[in-house]
């Protein structure tokens, strides 16, 4: 479990995170979402003890990260900035981490194979592509087979196959009861992976909800095409549904398709079309963060 309580972080006059509170529960994948500069990375670094909060607390498995016994074995992390020495091979990078963490050396080759860097592991990191660097970072995060995973933009640089592998891996790790916090600036990117979302903007919490609740926000209206549109409008209005004629044979009704269809059927109104209008998850995200048109990151 990860708990963030009243977290505030200031860098001089700039407030990166303000009074942020949320909880990440075990056995679920939690998406940590927000546009560029929202404070995601700062929050994750505060969780990992790399950034000192100006106020508030962060706890991992019930304790501040710095006070955990053997944190390298219990918490795996991937940070947005690459953290391997360019002159060292990927394999040696993991060997150093394994040695420091008291993790068996055999695990190094296992995780290299897991992220499909087996052969490339012997090459120096400075020759790695962005995707390979990301895979090496994921290998480092998974090295100790940890109970908690904190992953900052893990899909960056991964090809579609890699993203699919990441998605499946996270789902399977969560199914084993692990706690997973994964940040992204693209809601649609993590929608298929996460169970819960924490959305922040300008350092403040916008919403913590399940992904199903966020998807429900995407439901907009029902579009109806009928040769008897005007009659249907009055029938819907009479049934308490807000409905507007938008053309000779078109109606927009603010109710689920099922309800509109049932009312039409009950009164013998012929329908030529009955379509649910939905916003994209990205539109929902932009609405929640209050800045339509802004590209997140």
Q: How far is the C-alpha of 285 from the C-alpha of 152, rounded, in Å?
A: 18
Task: State the residue for tokens 């120096």.
Answer: 124
**Residues 30-59 contacting other proteins, CB under 8 A:** 41-42, 45, 48-52
Residue 77 within binding range of other proteins, rule CB under 8 A: yes
Judged by CB, which is closer to other proteins: 42, or 193?
Answer: 42
Q: Least distance from C-beta 97 to other proteins, angstroms?
A: 6
Q: How far is the C-alpha of 105 from the C-alpha of 112, rounded, in Å?
A: 12
Q: Where are the alpha helices (DSSP H) in 65-220?
A: 71-74, 90-101, 106-114, 130-142, 160-175, 187-190, 211-217
Site stretch for other proteins (CB under 8 A), options 77-85, 217-225, 232-240, 251-259: 77-85
Structure tokens at 285: 């995200």
Backbone angles phi, psi at 139, to 5 degrees: -60, -40
Angle at 276 between CA 274 and CA 282, to 5 degrees: 155
Q: Least distance from C-beta 33 to other proteins, angstroms?
A: 20
Site stretch for other proteins (CB under 8 A), options 20-28, 92-100, 161-169, 251-259: 92-100
Judged by CB, which is closer to other proteins: 54, or 208?
Answer: 54
Helix (H) / strand (E) element for 260: namely helix 257-266
Site size for other proteins (CB under 8 A): 35
Name residue 5's beta-bridge partners: 57
Name residue 183's beta-bridge partners: 32, 152
Angle at 282 between CA 58 and CA 196, to 5 degrees: 35
Residue 117 within binding range of other proteins, rule CB under 8 A: no
Residue 86 within binding range of other proteins, rule CB under 8 A: yes
Residue 83 within binding range of other proteins, rule CB under 8 A: yes
HEC string of 208-254 equals EEEHHHHHHHCEEEEEEECCCHHHHHHHHHHCCCCEEECCCCEEEEC
Binding mask 174-203 for other proteins (x = CB under 8 A): ------------------------------
Q: Least distance from C-beta 248 to other proteins, angstroms?
A: 60
Q: Which of 38, 79, 197, 269 binds other proteins (CB under 8 A)?
A: 79
Q: Which of 112, 115, 132, 140 binds other proteins (CB under 8 A)?
A: 140
Judged by CB, which is closer to other proteins: 142, or 235?
Answer: 142
Interface positions with other proteins (CB under 8 A): 11, 41-42, 45, 48-52, 65-66, 68, 71-72, 75, 77, 79, 81-89, 92, 95-97, 99-102, 140
């Amino acid at each position: 479990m990860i708990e963030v309580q009243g977290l505030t972080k200031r860098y001089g006059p700039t407030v990166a995170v303000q009074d942020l509170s949320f909880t990440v529960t075990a056995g679920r994948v939690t998406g940590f979402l927000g546009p560029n500069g929202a404070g995601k990375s700062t929050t994750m670094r505060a969780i990992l003890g790399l950034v000192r909060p100006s106020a508030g607390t962060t706890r991992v498995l019930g304790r501040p990260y710095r006070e955990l016994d053997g944190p390298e074995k219990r918490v795996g992390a991937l940070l947005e900035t690459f953290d391997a020495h360019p002159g060292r091979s990927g394999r040696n990078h993991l060997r150093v981490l394994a040695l420091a963490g008291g993790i068996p050396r055999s695990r190094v080759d296992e995780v290299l194979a897991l992220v499909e860097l087996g052969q490339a592991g012997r090459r120096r990191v400075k020759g790695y592509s962005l995707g390979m660097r990301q895979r090496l970072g994921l290998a480092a995060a998974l090295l100790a087979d940890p109970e908690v995973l904190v992953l900052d933009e893990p899909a960056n640089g991964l090809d579609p196959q890699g993203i699919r592998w990441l998605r499946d891996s996270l789902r399977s790790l969560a199914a084993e009861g692990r706690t997973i916090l994964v940040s992204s600036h693209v809601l649609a990117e993590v929608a298929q992976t996460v169970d819960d979302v924490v959305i922040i903007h300008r350092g403040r919490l916008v919403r913590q909800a399940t992904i199903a609740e966020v998807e429900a926000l995407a439901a907009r209206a029902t579009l109806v095409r009928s040769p008897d549109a005007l009659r249907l409008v009055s029938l819907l209005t009479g049934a308490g549904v807000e409905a507007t004629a938008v053309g000779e044979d078109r109606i927009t009704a603010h109710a689920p398709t099922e309800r509109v269809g049932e009312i039409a059927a009950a009164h013998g109104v012929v329908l030529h079309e009955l379509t649910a209008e939905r916003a994209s998850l990205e539109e929902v995200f932009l609405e929640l963060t209050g800045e339509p048109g802004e590209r997140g990151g």
